[in-house]
Amino acid sequence: MQFLKRLWKRHVTGQPDRYQAYVSLPTRDDHLPFGEVHDHIEELEHVFEGRLDVYARLGGIAVTTDPVPADQFDRDAFEAALDRLEDCYADTHSLVRLEKWRPSKDRLVKSFVIVPVKPLFPREEPDDAPRVRSAAD
């Protein structure tokens, strides 16, 4: 019966019982000062009502939150925090957002994984950069 209830909540109503997030904050290469990282952590702390842990990682910081009841989760504030985070990394990274639904102790949890990722190729070339010519030229 719980399985059917979770399927109903997920596919029909789109309403989980709880929300949680994992956010990676790269700090390497001097592209985001620690003060800005701290501001983003405070913002997430406000959205998740202080229910988060901060971990030092090689080249960055990771924030994981505890599941927060759906009636206490402010989705608009969370999206606004992610928009500001995306703006901070706009010059060097793309913000990847993954959403996953998970069952947890007879509840349905919607998890967000947010990771800034460096692009494989530079976004734009400088005008004075040398061009590679093909053999046909």
> pLDDT tens-digit profile of 92-109?
888 899 998 887 777 788
Which DSSP symbol is given to 132?
A: P
Q: What is the mean pLDDT of the chain?
A: 79
What CA–CA distance (Å, rounded) separates 23 from 101? 16
Domain boundaries, given as residue ranges, for the chain: 2-8+16-117
Query: What per-residue confidence (pLDDT) applies to 16?
Result: 77
Q: Which residue has the higher pLDDT, 100 or 16?
A: 100
Residue at token pair 């400088």: 126
Residue 56 has pLDDT above 80, yes or no: yes
Instruction: Over range 28-54, report the average pLDDT.
Output: 80
> pLDDT tens-digit profile of 81-90?
999 888 888 8
Q: Is 14 left (phi over 0), alpha (psi -120 to 50) or beta?
A: left
Global pTM value: 0.74
| Tokens read off for 133 | 């010519």
